[in-house]
Homo-oligomer: A and B are copies of this chain.
Amino acid sequence: FPLAVPAPAPGLGRGRARRGTVAVRAEAGTGINPAIRKEEAKVVDTVLAGELSKPLTPYCRCWRSGTFPLCDGSHVKHNKATGDNVGPLLVKK
């Protein structure tokens, strides 16, 4: 499985580190979805704005939610363990 992918440059991501924290280098060359719907070639979900049941519905963007595509707060644990800063997309009715 020869990946002709240039090794990610060591060091910080292009963004600045938050004051007082160390920017953990996110592996640009690594997958970000460990286990969600791996049998699908590409995981795409559709939200029908007209069928939203709650005033505000959070959708997962960290690929760790147990209720994917909906957010279940898993990004908090992910961010804490990795120094990342990902959060959900909120769709407001």
How big is chain A's contact interface, by range? 35 or more
Are B18 and A89 in contact (CB-based, < 8 A)? no
Per-residue CB contact flags for chain A residues 13-57 toward chain B (1 = under 8 Å, else 0) read: 111111000111111111111111111111111111110100010
Chain B residue at minimum C-beta to C-beta distance from A62:
B32
Are A13 and B38 in contact (CB-based, < 8 A)? yes
- How far, in angstroms, from A92 to B68 measured CA to CA in the complex? 18
Task: With A1-B22, A16-B38, A34-B26 as known contacts, state yes or no: A44 contacts B84, CB within 8 Å.
Answer: no
Task: With A49-B52, A89-B59, A91-B91 as known contacts, state yes or no: A5 contacts B81, CB within 8 Å.
Answer: yes
Most chain B CB within 10 A, of A25, A33, A69, A79, is at A33
